[in-house]
């Protein structure tokens, strides 16, 4: 048995009342279950529909995300989340670079690295090198003035933790940012790279080894083993090429507003919904959400 999820962006709330029922009838599925009026509904089917890809493409045109996954075991015990452009709306290194006057150059490298066009380790080392000489205090200034939480993130973490899940923020960015973001959103732990500084100034170097794609996979395996769980119990979410390993290993791997090369290889894709879509994918209704 499989569950089909239909999810709209909360701000649009444009999931038509008749759409889930019509699609369920077309696919010989169960009666729809509404998780949030205008935003999310689901129904069960016996097999994966042969025209799934075509219907997915059609629904993308009207701003509706469609996902299908095994009905059993949808509620996950671990949330493993990327930070930049996933739990926050920005790329921290791009913001630092903008202050340093090398914003366009660094942003271009970031975009290419996240799309899998560049080696992540080499791209990070090159970008950090361009930050040499930047006052360390700039990090706090950027955190305070430029970094915003992505919509739905706090609700996602709070709701999963309230239902017994463990939440880990695993970033290819920097601990100077993950520590603050993890605290604000309620994560149980955070892992990232460490920017090196001397006498209050960034040296242009990052502590080795660099936390990249393989380190995120290792984090998934290590955290699951430590908690007596398996990768199947993990919901992993990210948007970049360095997230693909954990997305593909997790029981539920979600490409959220991801780069095209990443979305194409992910099990589950959310292009319109916000982070609460990850709760709807697990069968949580809006009435189950924890907002504090």
From first to last of the 292 residues of the chain, give the pLDDT tens digit. 999 999 999 999 999 999 999 999 999 999 999 999 999 999 999 999 999 999 999 999 999 999 999 999 999 999 999 999 999 999 999 999 999 899 999 999 999 988 889 888 899 999 999 999 999 999 999 999 999 999 999 999 999 999 999 999 999 999 999 999 999 999 999 999 999 999 999 999 999 888 888 999 999 999 999 999 999 999 999 999 999 999 999 999 999 999 888 999 999 999 999 999 999 999 999 999 998 6
| Residue 265 main-chain phi, psi, to 5 deg | -110, 5
Question: Distance between CA atoms of 41 and 133, rounded to whole angstroms?
Answer: 51
The pLDDT value given to residue 201: 95
Q: Which two tokens stand for residue 137?
A: 């205090």
DSSP 87-128: TBSS-HHHHHHHHHT-HHHHHHHHHHHHTTSS-HHHHHHHHH
**CATH of segment(s) 1-72:** 3.30.70
Q: Which residues are catalytic?
A: 82, 84
| Ranges in the chain annotated CATH 3.30.70 | 1-72
| Ranges in the chain annotated CATH 3.40.50.1000 | 75-292
The pLDDT value given to residue 212: 85
Question: Distance between CA atoms of 3 and 173, rounded to whole angstroms?
Answer: 34
The pLDDT value given to residue 292: 65
CATH architecture label of 75-292: 3-Layer(aba) Sandwich (3.40)
Question: Distance between CA atoms of 31 and 9, rounded to whole angstroms?
Answer: 22
């Amino acid at each position: 048995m499989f569950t089909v999820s239909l999810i709209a962006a909360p701000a649009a709330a444009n999931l038509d009342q008749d759409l889930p029922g019509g699609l369920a009838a077309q696919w010989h599925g169960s009666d729809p279950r509404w998780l949030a009026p205008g935003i999310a509904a689901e129904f069960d089917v016996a097999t994966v529909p042969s025209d799934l890809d075509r219907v997915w493409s059609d629904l993308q045109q009207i701003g509706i995300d469609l996902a299908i996954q095994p009905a059993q075991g949808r509620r996950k015990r671990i949330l493993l989340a990327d930070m930049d452009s996933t739990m926050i709306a920005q790329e921290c290194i791009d913001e630092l670079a903008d202050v340093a006057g090398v914003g366009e150059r660094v942003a271009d490298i970031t975009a290419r690295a996240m799309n899998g066009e560049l080696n992540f380790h080499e791209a990070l080392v090159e970008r950090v090198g361009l930050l040499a000489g930047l006052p360390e205090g700039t990090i706090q200034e950027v955190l305070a003035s430029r970094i915003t939480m992505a919509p739905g993130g706090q609700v996602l973490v709070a709701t999963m933790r309230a239902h017994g899940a463990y939440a880990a923020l695993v970033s290819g960015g920097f601990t100077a940012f993950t520590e603050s973001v993890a605290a604000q959103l309620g994560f149980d732990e955070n892992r990232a790279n460490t920017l090196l500084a001397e006498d209050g100034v960034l040296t242009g170097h990052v502590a080795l080894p660099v936390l990249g794609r393989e380190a995120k996979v290792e984090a998934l395996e290590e955290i699951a083993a430590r908690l007596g769980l398996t990768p199947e119990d993990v919901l992993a979410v990210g948007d970049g090429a360095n997230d693909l390993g954990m997305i593909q290993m997790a029981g539920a791997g979600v490409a959220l507003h991801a780069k095209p090369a990443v979305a194409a290889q992910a099990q589950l894709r959310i292009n319109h919904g916000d982070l609460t879509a990850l709760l709807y994918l697990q069968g949580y209704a809006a009435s189950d959400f924890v907002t504090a």
